[in-house]
A and B are shown apart, each in its own frame.
Chain A
Amino acid sequence: MPAEELGPLPAGRHGYSREQVAHHQRERLIAGLAEAVAEKGYSAVTLTDIVKGAKVSRRVFYANFESKEQCFLAAFEVVLTHLHELVAKAVEGISDWPGQAIAATRAVLAFLASEPDLARLCLVESRGAGPAVAARFNEAVGEMAPLLREGRAQRPEGERLPDSTEDSTIGSLVSLIFRKVAAGEAKQLEQLLPDCAELVLLPYLGPAEAARLARQAA
C-alpha cells in the first residue's frame, strides 16, 4: 500500500498503543522504500527519499532498520509472505499435482502483473540490493523446489529425473519472468502462463501432456 493512502499519523494523544504506532511506522517505511525504488531504482534511493515518503523522521528509520538494505529486505519479505498466502489460497481444494502447479503459477503471475512496481522490486531491483538480499532471493526462489519435486510421483519416469531438474526448471522460469519485468512489461505477465506452465510440467508429465495442459490453462 502506498504511504499516502495511510495518511499522516495523528500527532499527540491519539489513543494508539506504543506497539501500534511502531508497527505503523515500520509499515510506512517499507511502503516509502517501495515507492522510492519504483520511482528511481534502488541504487539511487536515499534515506531522505524513504523517510520523506513515509512521513517519519530519520530517528524513526534507525529505530526500525539498520540500513537501507535492511529496509529493502523487509519490503522483499512482505511481498514474499503475501505471495506465499496467495499461492496457498490458489491451490486450496485442488487435489491433483498438475492442477496445483498451474494454479500456483497463475496466482504468482497474476499478482506480479497487478503490481508491476513490486514485481520490479522483487525480480530486478533485488538483484542489485546487496549480498543479503541476493542471498534471500536465491533462498526464496529455491523454496519452489520441494513443490516441483512432488511432481516426480506423477509417473514412474519421474523417479529417474536428474537431481538438478528442479534447479534448471526454476532457473528457466525465473529467467522467463525476469526478462518480461526487466523490459517494463510486467503488466503483460499473464500472457506467459502457457509457456510457464509447460516449462513447469514438462519434466514431470512428459512433453505431450505438458503441452496439452498448458494450452488448456490458457
Chain B
Amino acid sequence: MRALPGKENRQPPGPEPVSRDAAAADQRRRILEATADLIAEQGYQETTMEEIVRRAKVGYATFYKHYPDKEAAFLALLDAATDRTVSRVEDAFQREEGPWTDRVGAALGVLFEDVAAHPAAARAALVEAVAAGPEAAAKHEAALKRLAPLLRPGRELNPRQAALPESLEETLAGGIVWVLGQRLIAGEADKLRGLLPETLEFVLRPYVGEDEAAREAGEVADAISA
C-alpha cells in the first residue's frame, strides 16, 4: 500500500524519543555516579545537593526531574548498585556446576571483583547505607538476605547441621560485608583480590570444617596467583 503523500517526508516532531530516553538515562547515570563518588569521599550526611549537581554537571531542574531529593538519589544508587552486584553473584553461583564449595567460591569471586571494580558505589551500599536512614538500611539488609540462600545448602554438608545457629548465613554475610567495608574505608579496593581466599575459608569453615575450608581456600589462592 502506498503511503499517504507527504507522510514519509515529514520530519519527526523534536528529537527522536530514543535519544531523549538515552539523554535522560545518561543524566541519571551522571547523577548517581557523582552521588557515589561524593559519598565515598566525605560520607552521606556531609554530601549536599549542590555538590551533586556540580559534580554531575547537570542543573538543579534536571536533578529534580529525576529525583525529589538527595535521599531519593542515594536510594536509587543503592538499588542500582546492589541489584547489579547481587544479580551477578547469583548468576555466578547458578552457572558453576561443581560442588557447593566451588559455587560459593565462584559467587564470592564475582562479589569481590565487582566491589573492586566499583569501589565508590560499593562503599555507598556496604558502608554508608547502614547510616543513611531507615529506608537505606532496609535496602542494605535486603541485599544481605539475598546472599543467605546461596550459603544455606552448605548445612547439608555438616554432620551436626541441626546444631548450627539459625542466624548463621546472615551472620556470615555480615562478616563478608564488614571485611569488604573495612578495605573500602581504608581506600584499599585494589587489595581485595588477595583477601578472597581467606574470606572463602571463613565462610566455608562452619559448614565443611576447617581442613576442607583451608583446602578450598588454598585452591582459590593458587588459581589467583596462576
Contacts and interface: CB of A to CB of B under 8 A. Distances in A.
A91 interface: no
A80 to B, nearest CB: 18
A129 B132 CA distance: 9
B202 A164 contact: yes
Given A134-B131, A163-B198, A128 B206 contact: no
Contacts of A171: 174-179, 181-182
A130 B185 contact: no
Interface of A: 43, 127-131, 134, 138, 157, 160, 162-165, 167-172, 174-176, 178-179, 182, 194-195, 198-199, 202-203, 206-207, 211
Contact of A164 (B44, B46, B174, B198): B198
Contact of A175 (B175, B182, B201): B175
A157 B202 contact: no
Interface of B: 42-46, 130-133, 137, 141, 144, 160, 163, 165, 167, 170-179, 181-182, 185, 195, 197-199, 201-202, 205-206, 209-210, 214, 217
A141 to B, nearest CB: 9
Given A138-B185, A179-B170, A202-B205, A169 B175 contact: yes
B163 A211 contact: yes
Contacts of A194: 165
A160 B175 CA distance: 20
A172 B137 contact: no
Consensus secondary structure, chain B interface: helix
Contacts, number: 103
Nearest to B43: A131
B210 A206 contact: yes
Contacts of B141: 179, 182
Contact of B206 (A134, A178, A207): A207
A127 B134 CA distance: 12
A195 B209 CA distance: 17
A130 B46 contact: yes
A202 B144 CA distance: 22
A128 B179 contact: no
A207 B210 contact: yes
A207 B178 contact: no
Contacts of A211: 160, 163
A137 to B, nearest CB: 9
Contact of B170 (A134, A175, A199): A175
B179 A195 contact: no
A165 B214 CA distance: 12
